[in-house]
């Protein structure tokens, strides 16, 4: 039972204000502390200070009239119950609209008495309390829903990684098992073909082409072997606590000194904020350089490569959680939409130039990043360029 109430009465008629005060004073079942105001502006200033349980207001006031009176008070204090007092039957329509918009009750001034006033105040406070609780619970459920949604996304990502790991696990074990058995014969074949090239320098064209074919095939087989071995090694490399900004400053400095086409401009932007990650510097350096080389190759006519490093969040990376992000943007030719799903597949390449190791860069880069619980994403538009982002979880301080 509500027995103490702090009531705001907004009324420009001193006679009615005194009449209402007297009605509440005559009712012994409840103690009502009334604060009287003449204008909406005064009422709003007082509401901003808090400690009001219920508002009883007229609609026609010196600085406001009709529904606008309710709207202004409600906007200032949406969690406080508002009771409308109407002076005419015409105002009842406005009062009903106000109830639809959030008011808790309305009373005709001509029918007001101690019993109806007290009952209306108690009911208004109780209904508003219920409304506020429903709003609070709804907000908590929204937060819980988002947390469950994020948890589901994390679970789905983990499941996808596990599936990928299971697919590659057999391949990794196979590559480890046969690596040493195959590497030595391949080395002998490659070395032998190079010796034959020198010894048979004056041989006929067909013989030279055959020797070159043997050498290329052996080198290709060696590269395939390296691809699987790199994946295995990346999963076993130790990580260490590294200052993310310092690591990236060093990488950017090294990249700027690399030999690239003179018509390619390199821009770097490394945030100065304190950030740290648990990674292997050499492996992350390999991943960044691999992406940088891909960007350079995608700009045969020149352009700009921008390398950024910062702490932030991206809905596509680590389920939107805070991450240390490495972003590599280029103004190259872009990647066709149909090729995007294949970008991380082993041996897939969009490069038009034959080179050693082509087709295993992003495959290896992805595995390096994931070995440190990170994630890599690509966004590309043909004719405009490509953005590659690597997200690494920040280490705790």
Q: Write out pLDDT tens, residues 190-213.
A: 887 888 777 777 777 777 788 888
Neighbours of 47 (CB within 10 A): 18
DSSP states of 217-236: HHHHHHHHHHHHHHHHHHHH
Same-fold call for 4-112 versus 239-397 = no
Do residues 36 and 64 make contact, with C-beta atoms less than 8 angstroms apart? no
Higher pLDDT, residue 263 or 231: 263
Which carries the bigger pLDDT value, residue 315 or residue 260? 315
- Locate all alpha helices (DSSP H) within 257-315, ordered by sequence: 281-297
Average pLDDT over residues 55-59: 94
pLDDT at 5 over 60: yes
Residues shown for the chain: 397
Greater confidence, 334 or 160? 334
Share of the chain above pLDDT 90, in %: 43
How is domain 239-397 classified at the architecture level of CATH?
2-Layer Sandwich (3.30)
* pLDDT of the residue at 358: 41
Residue 355: pLDDT band by 50, 70, 90 thresholds? very low
| This prediction's pTM | 0.48
pLDDT band at 237 (very low <50, low <70, confident <90, very high): low
Q: Which of 345, 365, 348 is nearest to 290 (CA)?
A: 365
pLDDT for position 397:
58
Could you tell me the residue ranges of all domains in the chain?
Answer: 4-112, 239-397
What sign has the CA pseudo-torsion 271, 272, 276, 279? positive
The two most distant CA atoms of the chain are separated, in Å, by 124
The tally of CA atoms less than 13 A away on the side-chain side of residue 174 is 9
Q: Return the pLDDT at 359.
A: 44
Average pLDDT value for the chain: 85
Most confident stretch, 165-169, 222-226, 329-333: 329-333
Of residues 382 and 274, the one with the higher pLDDT is 382
In tens, the pLDDT along 382-396 reads 999 999 999 999 987
The DSSP call for residue 258 is: S
Res 357: pLDDT: 38
Q: Which residue has the higher pLDDT, 175 or 264?
A: 264
**What is the per-residue pLDDT for 132?**
85
Strand partners, 266: 305
Name the most confidently modeled range: 176-180, 208-212, 281-285: 281-285
Confidence of residue 175 (pLDDT cuts 50, 70, 90): low
CATH T-level topology, domain 4-112: Rossmann fold (3.40.50)
Cβ atoms of 298 and 333 within 8 Å: the answer is yes
pLDDT value at residue 180:
63
pLDDT of residue 260: 81
């Amino acid at each position: 039972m509500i027995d103490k109430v702090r009531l705001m009465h907004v009324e420009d008629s001193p006679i009615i204000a005194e009449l209402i005060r007297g009605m509440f004073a005559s009712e012994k079942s409840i103690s009502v502390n009334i604060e009287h105001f003449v204008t909406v502006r005064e009422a709003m200033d007082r509401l901003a200070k808090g400690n009001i349980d219920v508002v009883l207001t007229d609609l026609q006031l010196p600085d406001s009239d009709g529904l606008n009176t309710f709207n202004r008070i409600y906007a200032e204090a949406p969690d406080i119950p508002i009771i409308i007092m109407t002076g005419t039957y015409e105002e009842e329509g406005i009062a009903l609209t106000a109830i639809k918009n959030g008011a808790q009750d309305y009373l005709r001034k001509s029918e007001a008495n101690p019993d109806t006033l007290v009952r209306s105040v108690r009911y208004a406070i109780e209904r508003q309390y219920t409304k506020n609780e429903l709003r609070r619970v709804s907000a908590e459920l929204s937060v819980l829903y988002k947390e469950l949604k994020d948890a589901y996304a994390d679970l789905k990502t983990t499941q996808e990684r596990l599936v990928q790991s299971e697919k590659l696990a057999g391949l990794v074990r196979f590559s480890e098992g046969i690596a040493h058995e195959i590497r030595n014969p391949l080395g002998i074949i490659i070395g032998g073909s190079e010796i034959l090239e020198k010894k048979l320098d004056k041989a006929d064209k067909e013989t030279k082409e055959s020797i070159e074919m043997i050498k290329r095939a052996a080198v290709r087989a060696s590269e395939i072997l390296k691809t699987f071995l790199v994946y295995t090694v990346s999963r076993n490399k130790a990580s260490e606590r590294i200052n993310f900004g310092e690591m990236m400053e060093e990488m950017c400095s090294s990249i700027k000194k690399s030999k690239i086409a003179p018509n390619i401009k390199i821009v770097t932007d490394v945030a100065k904020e304190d950030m740290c990650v648990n990674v292997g510097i050499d492996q992350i350096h390999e991943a960044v350089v691999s992406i940088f080389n891909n960007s350079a190759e995608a700009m045969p006519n020149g352009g700009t490569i921008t390398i950024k490093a910062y702490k932030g969040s991206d809905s596509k990376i680590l389920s939107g959680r805070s991450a240390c992000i490495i972003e590599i943007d280029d103004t190259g030719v872009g990647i066709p939409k149909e090729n995007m799903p294949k970008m991380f597949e082993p041996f897939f390449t969009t490069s038009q130039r034959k080179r050693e190791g082509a087709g295993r860069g992003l495959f290896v880069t992805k595995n390096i990043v994931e070995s440190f619980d990170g994630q890599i994403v690509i966004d590309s538009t043909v004719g405009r360029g490509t953005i590659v982002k690597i997200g690494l979880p920040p280490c705790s301080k």
